[in-house]
Every structure is written in C-alpha cells, then in structure tokens.
Structure 1
Amino acid sequence: MNPSFERRLLVDPGTFWTSLILGTVFLFAVIVSAITWAKKKIYSHPETIDETFELPNMNEDI
C-alpha cells in the first residue's frame, strides 16, 4: 500500500443550493429597496420645518 493523501473538496449540494437561493433573494431585496429609496429621494420635494411639524400659523385671526 502506498500511503497518499487525496485532496477532495466535498460540498453538500443541499446546503450549497439553499445558501445560494437565500443569498440571491437577499441581494434582490437589497437592490429593490435601494432603487425604491433612490426614486423616492429623487422625486420628493424638500419639506420645510412648517410642513414637517405642521405648525399653526399664528398670524391668522381666530
């Protein structure tokens, strides 16, 4: 007998494909979220402090 060490990479197909699917879904969700955020950021108008907190106008007669 000749003692030799055989190098072999064993990959469990179930674990590999599950990880690949989960990674793909996560990457897709991140891309969709980034695109949605960018669209909202581009098309939204800047709010003033009055619009943000809805402050009443004190100059009006009640």
Structure 2
Amino acid sequence: MARLEQRVDLLMAHLGVEEPADPRMAEVDALLAEKKPIAAIKVYREVTGAGLVEAKEAVERRMR
C-alpha cells in the first residue's frame, strides 16, 4: 500500500496536482504539539478512514 501511495504522490507532483488539505489535519498537528499522539491518531483515522496501524505510522511521520 505504501508503495502505491508513493507512486500516486509522484504522479500528482509530476502533474502539478495538489490534494486539498482537510482542515481537521490541523487538529491532528495541534494534538501532536500538545503531546497527545493517541488523540491525534484517533482524529487522523476519522479524517482519512485509515486503519490503526496505517494511522499510527502516518501520525508518527507527521511528528518528525
């Protein structure tokens, strides 16, 4: 799945297409700033429909 996402990202970048950001992703970042990663994962899952493992990995990437 990650490889497919990477390829789609490359195609979108090549075409100059940007995915509109969901306003709730700012909420995820705010929760991370407050040192609340579990709450951030929960919101991320609500926004994206991702599974627990995928959401955890994505939130960890946002923390870097």
- What is the TM-score when the length of structure 1 is the normalising length? 0.23
- Write 1 or 2 for the structure with the bigger share of helix: 2
Bigger radius of gyration: 1
Identify which of structures 1 and 2 has the higher relative contact order when contacts are C-alpha pairs closer than 8 Å and 6+ apart: 2
- What is the TM-score when the length of structure 2 is the normalising length? 0.23
